[in-house]
Structure 1
């Protein structure tokens, strides 16, 4: 895929200047991009964003948050190693931001290791058909997929399931899916993947039980034992959305319908703070909410 074809595809996939939620389809006849391509593209986008000079205080805060979070991710990679890390992923906005940041950190981590621990991707089915200009210019990148766990709600939204499936393919995740409560799901996952030592979580301080968490925390007594890594713990709601929209990252369609925190069908509804003129059948998109304290008004 040439740079021009990528740009043409991105233009088609945008609505009102923002990447259409849930849009992952490649141009007709194109092969899925390789993992190194994804990682380096995201790193380039983030580097360009961090280099921006802006008077917008929210974007300046996001730039600071990105720098801090990537430092935490890089520290986790140094402490535990790529093959001993996983991501808790459910398609929500917070873990989506975290996923993008992790992907952007992988090229530098891979290039810091002696060959052949990590090298050019050869396990992806699309690798053999990668365009010459991509392989010629791609530095070292991880050949292994990022491990991830998806703990499914007892009554998941079809839109969430679709987005998780699409984004798992897009970002080449090695995703294990468990339709179990959280504790038995984690027990089953660590049994299936005993090498896992730490799991990245998209928890923020305004989430339940998030107030006193640090960047690195062991699990509580009585729970499966691993280190919880919280790179985005100090991000605010508006910063999450500012990052997603600035970098034009596809997101779950439910956020366009006024949902601000995604759970299951039975306990999640559009956020009443986003109702248009008091009409409970029309809602503004999630990224128009401003107050952290109103984020979970749509959750029972």
Structure 2
């Protein structure tokens, strides 16, 4: 892929203190003296990273699975952009690992999104199942649109539904990552249904929302890539590009691409809720007088992911 900014892209996002090769949430967002990166620069950097990863010839079966998952998920994201266009989609973002992976994949899709053809596609808000989405091969350079087609003044719309008792570390990471990735983030300290009602009132053009739901999440077992909301809920299309990713694949993606994540994950938290209903995962506990926990990415079993959650 040809990228006019390749020579001056900063590949270490939020460069600073690192734990196990990945920056903590409190690290600096950019190198002092460097201008803040534009959204197009960030999108092309992420696109380049992911294309490079897809071309890797790896013997690691988890990484091979991640490569396959990326192709499917980016196909779903590109289908959503064709259906609705970027002005009518949003991202549900709470700083957690799953929606972080989804955010990175969405941003990586923007450099190859063709504005005229995408905006001409009719909206299909009544669809009830996954669309036909092609398996995506790393795109050739001629398939990409010019850098100017990804507008720095068009941030990705997003909604943050705040826990009743949020972790300070989560709040800090959401704020920092939203600023780093140029999110148009609206924050609602409300239960989910009234939060969505308020968001759609504030953003009436939104027709579809990307969600980081996975198959092992509560109520995730029957979802497809595209599902309209249930009766009695605010009406929009729910889009689930990472629905079939496994826990180890989420972490393999984050760590292999060196994506900064919330520091609570380094303390044994594997699923982030609020301070009253979330604790380090007991499956990661290390023996000793003082409780210690291994980092979240050392957990291997999907079924153990929510052992630290009361809800």
- TM-score band w.r.t. shorter chain: 0.7 to 0.9
Residue 23 in structure 1 maps to residue 33 in structure 2: no
Residue 32 in structure 1 maps to residue 41 in structure 2: no
**1:289–1:227 CA distance, 2 compared to 1 (3 A):** same
Partner of 2:151: 142
Instruction: Give 5+ residue unaligned stretches, structure 2.
Output: 120-145
Q: How much does 1:219 deviate?
A: 0.2
4+ residue segments displaced more than 2 Å = 1-25, 137-140, 277-280
**1:13–1:41 CA distance, 2 compared to 1 (3 A):** farther
Q: How much does 1:140 deviate?
A: 2.8
Tell me if the contact between 1:272 and 1:280 (Cα under 8 Å) persists in the aligned partners.
no
Partner of 1:164: 174
Q: How much does 1:19 deviate?
A: 3.3
Q: How much does 1:153 deviate?
A: 0.3
Q: How much does 1:24 deviate?
A: 4.2
Return the alpha-carbon distance in structure 2 between the equivalents of residues 199 and 238 of structure 1: 25
> What is the TM-score when the length of structure 2 is the normalising length?
0.84
Residue 179 in structure 1 maps to residue 183 in structure 2: no
Residue 70 in structure 1 maps to residue 74 in structure 2: yes
Partner of 1:224: 234
**SS of aligned partner of 1:6:** coil
Return the alpha-carbon distance in structure 2 between the equivalents of residues 154 and 28 of structure 1: 35
Residue 84 in structure 1 maps to residue 84 in structure 2: no
**SS of aligned partner of 2:174:** helix
> What is the TM-score when the length of structure 1 is the normalising length?
0.87
Return the alpha-carbon distance in structure 1 between the equivalents of residues 76 and 6 of structure 2: 34
Return the alpha-carbon distance in structure 1 between the equivalents of residues 193 and 58 of structure 2: 44
Q: How much does 1:6 deviate?
A: 2.8
- 1:277 paired residue among 259, 265, 287: 287
| Range that drifts further, 195-204 or 18-27 | 18-27
Q: How much does 1:28 deviate?
A: 1.4
Q: How much does 1:83 deviate?
A: 0.2
Tell me if the contact between 1:22 and 1:251 (Cα under 8 Å) persists in the aligned partners.
no
Q: How much does 1:31 deviate?
A: 1.9
Tell me if the contact between 1:98 and 1:202 (Cα under 8 Å) persists in the aligned partners.
yes
Return the alpha-carbon distance in structure 1 between the equivalents of residues 15 and 196 of structure 2: 40
Matches within 5 A, 1:234-253: 234-253=244-263
| Range that drifts further, 89-98 or 270-279 | 270-279
Instruction: Give 5+ residue unaligned stretches, structure 1.
Output: 118-136
Deviations, residues 181-204 of structure 1 (Å, cap 9, x unaligned): 000000000001110000000000
Count residues in correspondence. Answer: 278
**SS of aligned partner of 1:176:** strand
Partner of 2:165: 155
Aligned Cα root-mean-square deviation (Å): 2.1
Partner of 2:275: 265
Partner of 2:115: 113
| Range that drifts further, 21-30 or 155-164 | 21-30
**1:37–1:4 CA distance, 2 compared to 1 (3 A):** closer
**1:248–1:171 CA distance, 2 compared to 1 (3 A):** same
Return the alpha-carbon distance in structure 2 between the equivalents of residues 265 and 233 of structure 1: 26
Q: How much does 1:26 deviate?
A: 1.1
